[in-house]
Structure 1
Amino acid sequence: MSLYVKDPQARVDHAIDWSAYLAEQSLVASLWTVTPEEAGGLMVEADAFEAQRSTVRLGGGVVGRIYRLTNRVTLSDGQVDERSVTMRVEER
């Protein structure tokens, strides 16, 4: 799992390139989640996906908190997979 740092006032984009894992499949669905969910916490503002890549725009976050951002995708053959990254929020 990768670690990223985000300012609480910043709106940042994050993407996962799934092409190395797909073996002739493509993405047909993508869902981004943040754990823990809390008031003022890190939030998904927008998300999208293409055949081999998923993206998310993140906002907010409480200074000093660490969040897990998870992308769960469904592939064209029905398989489901997910990847997670860690986001730490601090003033920058």
Structure 2
Amino acid sequence: MNLYLKDPQARIDHEIDWSAYLAGQHVVASVWHVSPAEAGGIVVEADAFEDLRTSVRLSGGAVGRLYYVTNRVALSDGQEDERSIHVRVEER
């Protein structure tokens, strides 16, 4: 997992490149989750996907908190997989 720093006022995009993990398949569905889900926490504003990449726009978050942002994908051959990133919110 990767650790990213985020200001609570920032709206930032993150991307996962799935090409290294896929053996001829492609992404057909993508869902993002933030944990912990809490009032004033990080919010998924928008998300998108292409055959080999997924992306998410994050906003908000409580200063000093660490969030796990997980992307779960469905693949063209019926398999499912997920990858997560850590996002720590700090005043920057």
Task: State the TM bucket, normalised to the shorter chain.
Answer: over 0.9
- CA-atom RMSD in angstroms: 0.4
Q: Residue 43 of structure 2 aligns with which residue?
A: 43
Which is helix-richer, 1 or 2? 1
After the TM superposition, which parts of structure 1 deviate over 6 Å for at least 4 consecutive aligned residues? none
Give the count of matched residue pairs.
92
What is the CA–CA distance in structure 2 between the aligned matches of 1:71 and 1:26, rounded to whole Å?
15
Q: CA deviation at 1:26?
A: 0.3
Per the normalisation by structure 1, the TM-score is 0.99
1:66 maps to a residue whose letter is L
What is the CA–CA distance in structure 2 between the aligned matches of 1:85 and 1:45, rounded to whole Å?
16
Residue 83 of structure 2: SS of its match in structure 1?
strand
Q: Residue 64 of structure 2 aligns with which residue?
A: 64
Q: Residue 75 of structure 2 aligns with which residue?
A: 75
2:48 maps to a residue whose letter is A
Q: Residue 28 of structure 1 aligns with which residue?
A: 28
| Identical amino acids, percent of aligned pairs | 71
2:73 maps to a residue whose letter is V
**Structure 1: unaligned runs, 5 residues or longer:** none
1:68 maps to a residue whose letter is Y
Per the normalisation by structure 2, the TM-score is 0.99
